[in-house]
A and B are shown apart, each in its own frame.
Chain A
């Protein structure tokens, strides 16, 4: 099945129509749906958990709900696929007896009951990936398939790495728009910014990281020459949700934070900043978000009079970035004789807010 899809993707033009693009996406979705449904029961169960927690945490979208329903129906189909069930007329997912039987037979841990050999399929796809050269769409599809296969094996960190590679693969067209959105959200905070719908199908990666404590995988920058993992992760799940996730788990620089030094479920401030060093717009957006949502690790230090050198050097960089990306167009058309409203008088720029807390 995938060979046909691959052929379809490889033969597609670079500038294809939206209709062709949608057909290709649907074909890949169908293949992925089949792969997931025939995969290990434990992986289907894990996926359901991921989608459910994504929906409960408010990061899930309609796409997540669709995928959850798909996983649920695949799970019940797999639980009921026995000769005895087929012989009972009218038996289905709604039958309470069947439901009880399913809950009793619920597998625990990682199971190896997939309808195909995960190992062999994975090897085939890895070979395909190494042979592919330039077709991004086919490469993305294969990376997603391999990520799914790793998840079926219970190797979540490898699965996340595949998702990161997928994010890096798709970043070429999105990184600039994400960076522009980041700068706009710093200097024009009143506007509402929403991630494009492309990111919806990967929101569960956030819960994958959180539930399996894979935060350190995102800080691993061994692969030189590729995108830093956090940047690729942002390209995958979208700026807003990735930003919220990173800020929520951001802590003081590792050398300074004695209390939670051993915590693997966190992103030390300096390590995140180091990763974003080559992407100044994203770095500015990150530091601005920290100052807005988590000032206690960046500008307010109740336990020490002198902030750490790691933080103070970031202050310097932060200030320079504000100057660099500030809107220099002369927009001030206000006359001195105009008396503004109270809200307008005390409206502060991002730089002024930064100076008030840092200088």
Chain B
């Protein structure tokens, strides 16, 4: 099959669109021994309660009713997310797997945040799912929505949007401490951002100063060419007023720059031996 695909690919005229190149290449060169589609089918069959043997024998089309909703839910969600075409339906399926199969709000919220293309749709579905659970009455006192608020605050989601979605008649247990914790978390995050911004600004100023200092010293740059003769270190004429930088093979040039920097910083100067060990600050150069 692979050889046929390659031959077909070779016989075809040069494709113009990217899809034309990708399709036969993907068919001819399957990387890895297992493919996402096969994994997905196997996991779905296991969840629907059909054994591996039936799978291999190519039994009649199984019903898609899920008998073991928790079995391989996380794995299936990963595979669909990895291999899926990114459609609304598949994204929603992954979300449902996280909510019902894995029963994990943090994973569902992470997925909704991660999936940039369908983020708003997923958030809407997530909120409506939690509200539907509350209305069902199986979970009283708004526990699920409270947990959603907590998880959303933890993952840095838009909390204001979430709060605006709370129905008027819904009572949520412990919403006040949760919101206070979320806001204090937010304040800490803002402080961290400010501190990081200040550190980066200091670095930026220091680097700009150094760049200005360096750019002041050079006058002319001769670009290095392959025909150019390599200039020895001793032959370089040192002008006190102007500095001609000859761009030599990069290693030599790098060494020279390093030695010049050391010279500038006074690291190359010899130390005077006064016959005793002195602290570094008191060394006589």
Contact A337 B139 (CB under 8 A): yes
Quote the shortest CB–CB distance from A160 to chain B (angstroms).
34
Best-surrounded residue of B33, B36, B105 (most CB of chain A within 10 A): B33
Kindly state whether residue B71 has any CB partner on chain A within 8 Å: yes
Contact B105 A339 (CB under 8 A): yes
Contact A335 B103 (CB under 8 A): yes
Which residues of the other chain, B, contact A348 by a CB distance below 8 angstroms?
74
Query: Given that A336-B144, A336-B147, A349-B75 are known contacts, is A358 also in contact with B68, CB under 8 Å in the complex?
Result: no
Quote the shortest CB–CB distance from B69 to chain A (angstroms).
9
Q: How far is the CA of A359 from the CA of B36 in the complex (A)?
A: 6
Contact B144 A330 (CB under 8 A): no
Kindly state whether residue A67 has any CB partner on chain B within 8 Å: no
Question: For window 313-329 of chain A, which residues contact chain B by CB distance below 8 Å?
Answer: 313-316, 319-320, 323-324, 326, 328
Kindly state whether residue A351 has any CB partner on chain B within 8 Å: yes
Query: Given that A324-B52, A336-B133, A337-B147 are known contacts, is A313 also in contact with B75, CB under 8 Å in the complex?
Result: no
Which residues of the other chain, A, contact B99 by a CB distance below 8 angstroms?
336
Kindly state whether residue B79 has any CB partner on chain A within 8 Å: yes
Kindly state whether residue B22 has any CB partner on chain A within 8 Å: no
Which residues of the other chain, A, contact B75 by a CB distance below 8 angstroms?
349, 351-352, 355
Kindly state whether residue B70 has any CB partner on chain A within 8 Å: yes
Question: For window 15-50 of chain B, which residues contact chain A by CB distance below 8 Å?
Answer: 29, 31-36, 39, 42-43, 46
Which residues of the other chain, B, contact A319 by a CB distance below 8 angstroms?
34, 39, 42
Q: How far is the CA of A311 from the CA of B106 in the complex (A)?
A: 36
Kindly state whether residue B113 has any CB partner on chain A within 8 Å: no
> Chain A: which residue is nearest B29 at the CB level?
A306
Best-surrounded residue of A314, A315, A323, A356 (most CB of chain B within 10 A): A323
Which residues of the other chain, B, contact A313 by a CB distance below 8 angstroms?
33
Quote the shortest CB–CB distance from A25 to chain B (angstroms).
44
Kindly state whether residue B72 has any CB partner on chain A within 8 Å: yes
- The residue from A323, A328, A330, A339 contacting B150, defined by CB atoms under 8 A apart: A339
Contact B52 A359 (CB under 8 A): no
Contact B39 A330 (CB under 8 A): no
Contact A316 B70 (CB under 8 A): no
Contact A311 B33 (CB under 8 A): yes
Which residues of the other chain, A, contact B46 by a CB distance below 8 angstroms?
323
Which residues of the other chain, A, contact B34 by a CB distance below 8 angstroms?
315-316, 319, 358-359
Contact A349 B103 (CB under 8 A): no
Q: How far is the CA of A330 from the CA of B70 in the complex (A)?
A: 7
Contact A326 B72 (CB under 8 A): yes
Which residues of the other chain, A, contact B79 by a CB distance below 8 angstroms?
355, 359
> Chain B: which residue is nearest A331 at the CB level?
B70
Query: Given that A337-B147, A349-B75 are known contacts, is A305 also in contact with B31, CB under 8 Å in the complex?
Result: yes
Which residues of the other chain, A, contact B35 by a CB distance below 8 angstroms?
359
Quote the shortest CB–CB distance from A135 to chain B (angstroms).
41
Number of interface residues of B (CB under 8 A): 36
Q: Chain B 172-186, CB within 8 Å of chain A: the 1/0 string?
A: 000000000000000
Kindly state whether residue B112 has any CB partner on chain A within 8 Å: no
Contact A349 B31 (CB under 8 A): no
Which residues of the other chain, A, contact B147 by a CB distance below 8 angstroms?
336-339
Which residues of the other chain, A, contact B146 by a CB distance below 8 angstroms?
337
Q: How far is the CA of A210 from the CA of B106 in the complex (A)?
A: 49
Kindly state whether residue A307 has any CB partner on chain B within 8 Å: yes
Kindly state whether residue A340 has any CB partner on chain B within 8 Å: yes
Q: How far is the CA of A95 from the CA of B223 in the complex (A)?
A: 80
- The residue from A323, A324, A358 contacting B33, defined by CB atoms under 8 A apart: A358
Kindly state whether residue B4 has any CB partner on chain A within 8 Å: no
Q: How far is the CA of A193 from the CA of B106 in the complex (A)?
A: 32
Quote the shortest CB–CB distance from A295 to chain B (angstroms).
13
> Chain B: which residue is nearest A352 at the CB level?
B75
Query: Given that A307-B32, A339-B150 are known contacts, is A332 also in contact with B74, CB under 8 Å in the complex?
Result: no
> Chain B: which residue is nearest A356 at the CB level?
B78
Quote the shortest CB–CB distance from A154 to chain B (angstroms).
45
Kindly state whether residue A334 has any CB partner on chain B within 8 Å: yes
Kindly state whether residue A88 has any CB partner on chain B within 8 Å: no
Kindly state whether residue A312 has any CB partner on chain B within 8 Å: yes
> Chain A: which residue is nearest B82 at the CB level?
A359
Kindly state whether residue A345 has any CB partner on chain B within 8 Å: yes
> Chain A: which residue is nearest B100 at the CB level?
A336
Contact B143 A345 (CB under 8 A): no
Q: How far is the CA of A356 from the CA of B82 in the complex (A)?
A: 9
Which residues of the other chain, A, contact B82 by a CB distance below 8 angstroms?
359
Q: How far is the CA of A337 from the CA of B79 in the complex (A)?
A: 25
Quote the shortest CB–CB distance from B275 to chain A (angstroms).
48
Quote the shortest CB–CB distance from B197 to chain A (angstroms).
26
Kindly state whether residue B247 has any CB partner on chain A within 8 Å: no
Best-surrounded residue of A320, A337, A338, A356 (most CB of chain B within 10 A): A337
Kindly state whether residue B151 has any CB partner on chain A within 8 Å: yes
Question: Which residues of chain B have a CB within 8 Å of any CB of chain A?
Answer: 29, 31-36, 39, 42-43, 46, 52, 68, 70-72, 74-75, 78-79, 82-83, 99, 103-107, 133, 139, 143-144, 146-147, 150-151
Question: Which residues of chain A have a CB within 8 Å of any CB of chain B?
Answer: 305-307, 311-316, 319-320, 323-324, 326, 328, 330-332, 334-340, 345, 348-349, 351-352, 355-356, 358-359
Identify 27 residue pairs between A and B in the complex whose beta-carbon atoms are under 8 Å apart, listed by A's number: A305-B31, A306-B31, A315-B32, A316-B33, A320-B52, A323-B43, A326-B72, A336-B103, A336-B144, A336-B147, A337-B139, A337-B143, A338-B147, A339-B105, A339-B106, A339-B151, A340-B106, A348-B74, A349-B74, A351-B72, A351-B75, A352-B74, A352-B75, A355-B75, A356-B78, A359-B34, A359-B79
Known contacts A328-B68, A330-B71, A336-B133; can you find 12 more A-B pairs with CB under 8 A? A307-B32, A320-B52, A323-B42, A334-B103, A336-B139, A340-B106, A345-B104, A349-B75, A351-B72, A355-B78, A359-B32, A359-B36
Q: 6 tightest CB-CB pairs across the interface, nearest first?
A: A312-B33, A315-B33, A337-B143, A332-B70, A316-B33, A345-B106
